[in-house]
């Protein structure tokens, strides 16, 4: 099988591991910087080109950075027009990157989440804060990634100031209840197809409520409950993702989903769990990649 890995940096751990795993299983692999690609949108002859040469793959593995979502998903969509099988479709990636849209879809399916509010106006900040139970609470930029743009407001006054400041900056924000009992830890469940293939607990450093490894958090092995496994798989399916990293907190009323990531990193999960996640992704491709199997049937 000819596999394209859409990644801006061939030296990244995740990109290298995916290439190694595919080559080890006898596949032809090429890493492509999707931002350097351009497209021929002509009817009946859709093409993706790089340096003047058309790209043809049986399957592509999108590793689209958050800051390049629009162009990256356009490239994935063009491969779909060529009947190339994507590990994650362009629509599923777009859904997961729009945090508000993702939360609305998860809520529609009855998946556990922190109480969440979204607003545009500063006229009733108190009403917004009351909606999520008041301080302490989390204020989160919709466009933030890896824990950046996430603020813990410990008092109502602080929350009012943060919300007002973000709105004045014309930023789209979410306000969420603070799950105190999580203790600064969350769970990353790595979903491929219809099962969780690896998991880890991420713990933030002392005094830090964010547990992202990029923010100095540490990872450890964890055994998921059946409910946590079911929640992770349902969350990925709800957004139409075949490969996903689902981030959850353990609350007093069961697992609550914080985010569903369409390009989850492999380094932390592989080193912590000891699982060959890259190999599992390639195995999934071998079983499922078929020309033309690019339709996305998720509503929303």
The predicted-structure confidence for 216-245, as pLDDT tens digits, reads as follows: 567 789 999 999 999 999 999 999 999 999
Which pLDDT score, from 0 to 100, does residue 146 have?
56
Q: Are 106 and 209 in the same domain?
A: yes
Q: Are 107 and 247 in the same domain?
A: yes
In the listed set 178, 195, 215, which residue is the last one of a domain according to the structure?
178
* pTM assigned to the model: 0.88
Residue 105 banded pLDDT, cuts 50, 70, 90:
very high
Flag whether 254 is in a domain.
yes
d(CA 117, CA 154): 17
Which pLDDT score, from 0 to 100, does residue 162 have?
87
d(CA 27, CA 54): 19
Nearest residue to 99 via CA among 68, 140, 45: 140
Question: Percent of the chain beyond pLDDT 90?
Answer: 63
We report the CATH number of the domain holding residue 14 as 3.40.50.20
Asked whether residue 120 carries a pLDDT value surpassing 90, the answer given is no
Q: Are 121 and 100 in the same domain?
A: no
Q: Are 172 and 225 in the same domain?
A: no
Q: Are 76 and 138 in the same domain?
A: no
Residue 285 banded pLDDT, cuts 50, 70, 90:
very high
Q: Are 198 and 127 in the same domain?
A: no
- With contact defined as beta carbons under 8 Å apart, do 193 and 237 qualify? no
Q: What are the strands, taking DSSP E only, across the chain? A: 2-6, 28-32, 38-40, 47-50, 53-54, 59-62, 85-86, 116-118, 137-141, 150-153, 173-177, 185-192, 195-203, 218-220, 243-251, 254-261
DSSP 114: -
Asked whether residue 212 carries a pLDDT value surpassing 60, the answer given is no
Q: Are 107 and 218 in the same domain?
A: yes
Q: Are 107 and 190 in the same domain?
A: yes
Count of domains in the chain? 3
Flag whether 286 is in a domain.
no
Flag whether 281 is in a domain.
no
Which pLDDT score, from 0 to 100, does residue 209 have?
57
End-to-end Cα separation, the chain, in angstroms:
32
Q: What is the mean pLDDT of residues 288-292?
A: 82
Q: Are 172 and 198 in the same domain?
A: no
Please name every residue paired with 254 in a beta bridge, in sequence order, or none if there are none: 251
Q: Are 168 and 37 in the same domain?
A: no
Residue ranges making up the domain that contains 122:
116-178
Asked whether residue 134 carries a pLDDT value surpassing 90, the answer given is no
We report the CATH number of the domain holding residue 172 as 3.30.1490.20
CA angle 178, 181, 182 (to 5 degrees): 80
Q: Are 129 and 102 in the same domain?
A: no
Q: For residue range 42-95, list pLDDT tens digits in order.
A: 888 899 999 999 999 999 999 999 889 999 999 999 999 999 999 999 999 999
Flag whether 270 is in a domain.
no
Flag whether 297 is in a domain.
no
- Helix boundaries (H) for 25-155: 69-81, 90-97, 99-108, 125-131
Flag whether 271 is in a domain.
no
Q: Are 203 and 250 in the same domain?
A: yes
């Amino acid at each position: 099988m000819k596999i394209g890995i859409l990644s801006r940096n061939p030296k990244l751990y995740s990109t290298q591991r995916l290439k190694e795993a595919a080559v080890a299983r006898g596949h032809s692999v090429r890493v492509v910087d999707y931002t350097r690609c351009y497209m021929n949108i002509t009817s009946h002859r859709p093409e993706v080109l790089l340096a003047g040469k058309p790209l043809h793959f049986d399957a592509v593995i999108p590793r689209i950075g958050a800051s390049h979502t629009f162009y990256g998903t356009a490239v994935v969509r063009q491969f779909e027009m060529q009947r190339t099988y994507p590990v994650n479709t362009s629509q599923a990636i777009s859904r997961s990157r729009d945090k508000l849209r993702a939360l609305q879809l998860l809520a529609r399916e009855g998946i556990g989440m922190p109480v969440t509010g979204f607003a545009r106006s500063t006229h009733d900040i108190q009403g917004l804060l009351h909606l999520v139970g008041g301080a302490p609470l989390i204020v989160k930029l919709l466009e933030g990634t890896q824990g950046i743009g996430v603020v813990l407001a410990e008092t109502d006054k602080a929350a009012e100031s943060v919300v007002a400041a973000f709105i004045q900056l014309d930023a789209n924000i979410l306000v969420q209840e603070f799950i105190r009992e999580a203790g600064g830890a969350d769970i990353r469940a790595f979903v491929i197809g219809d099962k969780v293939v690896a998991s880890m607990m991420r713990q933030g450093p002392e005094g830090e409520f964010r547990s992202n490894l990029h923010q100095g958090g540490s990872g450890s092995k964890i055994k998921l409950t059946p409910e946590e496994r079911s929640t992770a798989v349902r969350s990925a399916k709800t957004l139409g993702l075949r490969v996903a990293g689902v981030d959850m907190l353990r609350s007093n009323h069961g697992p609550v989903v914080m985010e569903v990531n369409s390009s989850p990193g492999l380094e932390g999960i592989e080193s912590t769990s000891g699982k060959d996640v890259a190999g599992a992704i390639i195995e999934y491709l071998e079983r499922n990649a078929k020309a033309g199997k690019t339709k996305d049937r998720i509503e929303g």
